[in-house]
Amino acid sequence: MSILHELNSNLDDVLAENKGGVKVNAEPLSQFVNTKLTAKLNRQLEEPLIVASNCLPSWSEDLARLYPFLFPFETRHLFLQSTSLGYSRSMTRWQNAQSTSDSRHDRYRDERPFLGRLQRQKVRLSRSRILESAIKVMELYGSSASVLEVEYFEEVGTGLGPTLEFYSTVSKEFSKKKTKLWRENESYDNDEYAFGKRGLFPAPMSEDQANDENGQRVLHLYKMLGKFVARSMLDSRIIDISFNPTFFRIGDGSATVTPSLGAVGSVDHDLANSLKLLKQFASAKRAIQEDGTLTAAQKVQAASEIEIAGAHVEDLGLDFTLPGYPHIELQPNGADIHVTIDNVGLYVQQVIEFTLGRGVQKQVDAFRAGFSQVFPYSALKAFTPDELVMLFGRVDEDWSLETLMDSIKADHGYNLDSKSVRNLLQTMSELDAPARRDFLQFVTGSPKLPIGGFKSLTPMFTVVCKPSEAPFTSDDYLPSVMTCVNYLKMPDYSSLEVLRKRLHVAINEGQGAFHLS
């Protein structure tokens, strides 16, 4: 089943060359889930003393780590939180779940001891040097068991809001082109941020580059990025980095399906198409070599006449350097070695291997080393590459009116039938993707929702009525927020249009600082 699951998950690599000629549909991953084992594992994870004392039966750890496809994502996420993030966090999460699910107010509840109380580590940063400050914080406190809380110099804001904003801002800093961490072949020239259609993937580095000063800086950044990502998981913070799923498949020797031409397509679509064309030359040459009816001289003659798309391979003027990176040689003196019909197969093989292997292995290793300083990277084996991408920031969010109605609380002068609340929900449901990010940044401090969407926001997103004082009316006021508790204080506006205008002004003016409202 494990092999079938790997093949099913990576059909692009299994059928890289002849995908068009084979009709194969990937099965949904839910087909592999075993409901009885899932129920059994969930029951084990509901026993806090067994989890906290590391007494889980061996079958549960073996199956969850080696055969994770047997369980749905929610169960594996719970398993990770229960087994990899430490005693204090495990007990805190369990006790929080008890207090929210247990509606009985028995008189002894307040007298119960709090088990595994979490320590808090406060740090104060300069907003103008956010990346350098973040790296310093990760070096000093990244591996600490305490919960990290961030505040900024010359700002009064403290607590959850500034902390969430710190994680989202640093995410953006790591995604900038100026860091030189990522491939930019699919980016827009004048954009500040690196972009990939399937997510960010490391820019390749030669051995010489990795050993020079700039290469060491890049590898250090990858190590700090790994630590930053692990820290966000440890403290349940939302980050906003769109990784390419192939990033999490590099260098994993246990994989049944190794990344190949199909994976190159997810990293650089144009390069993959070019390599497929070159592979046709290699296939045609191999067919001639295997033809037993031809003499050696005839084989040489036939090979020299191979044409694909009206051209000989020599006409393409290629040499043994990495496409898009002419300073990176695929082998010693590669710039002086021309690609011919005799070595085109080797060229394709080396480009794939460098793009997905040698050229990025050091970066991936540095990321994993940084991550493992917080908690073991091996714990992520419970998730597929696509799920890890979702965990670390790229996820489809549900902003439908029905979901918003179910996930938002109206209080202090409002209820869900109030005109202004209805207008707010309608406005939110009609926001486009960039406006959603700005709205969430304004209200919660993070541009992304947690896994589970609005229903998973803690505390619950609450909208309350902001009173007006004469001679002003409600329409004269802007909405304000308390990001630490996801609290929107909104005047009772006279119309939908006024609400939209005032909210737009507040969002644009309220970004990038935490002051008293």
Catalytic residues: 484
Secondary structure string (H, E, C) spanning 168-213: HHHHHHHCEHHHCCECCCCCCCCCCECCCCCCECECCCCHHHHHCH
Cα–Cα distance for residue pair 451/389, rounded to 1 Å? 12
- Crossing angle of helices 296-304 and 269-289, in 10° steps, is 150
Report residue 490: phi and psi, to 5°: -125, 125
Among 258, 259, 303, which Cα is nearest to 281's?
A: 303
Among 380, 361, 360, which Cα is nearest to 372's?
A: 380
Q: How many residues does the chain have?
A: 517
Rounded alpha-carbon distances, angstroms, from residue 120 to 86, 235, 499? 15, 11, 38
Token digits of residue 258: 């190794």
Cα–Cα distance for residue pair 91/53, rounded to 1 Å? 11
Token digits of residue 68: 């994770």
H-assigned helices in 373-415: 385-391, 401-407
Cα–Cα distance for residue pair 336/308, rounded to 1 Å? 24
Among 394, 321, 381, which Cα is nearest to 351's?
A: 321
Cα–Cα distance for residue pair 263/36, rounded to 1 Å? 34
| Residues sharing a CB contact under 8 Å with residue 169, sequence separation 6 or more, in sequence order | 130
Residue 465 in 3-state DSSP?
strand
Let me know: does 347 contact 279? Beta carbons within 8 Å: no
- Residues pairing with 448 in the sheet: none
Let me know: does 175 contact 260? Beta carbons within 8 Å: no
Token digits of residue 98: 């008890």
* DSSP single-letter state for residue 356: I
Rounded alpha-carbon distances, angstroms, from residue 359 to 365, 377, 474? 12, 21, 60
The rounded radius of gyration (Å) of the Cα atoms in the chain is 27
Let me know: does 439 contact 424? Beta carbons within 8 Å: no
| Residues sharing a CB contact under 8 Å with residue 123, sequence separation 6 or more, in sequence order | 137, 141, 148, 149, 150, 151
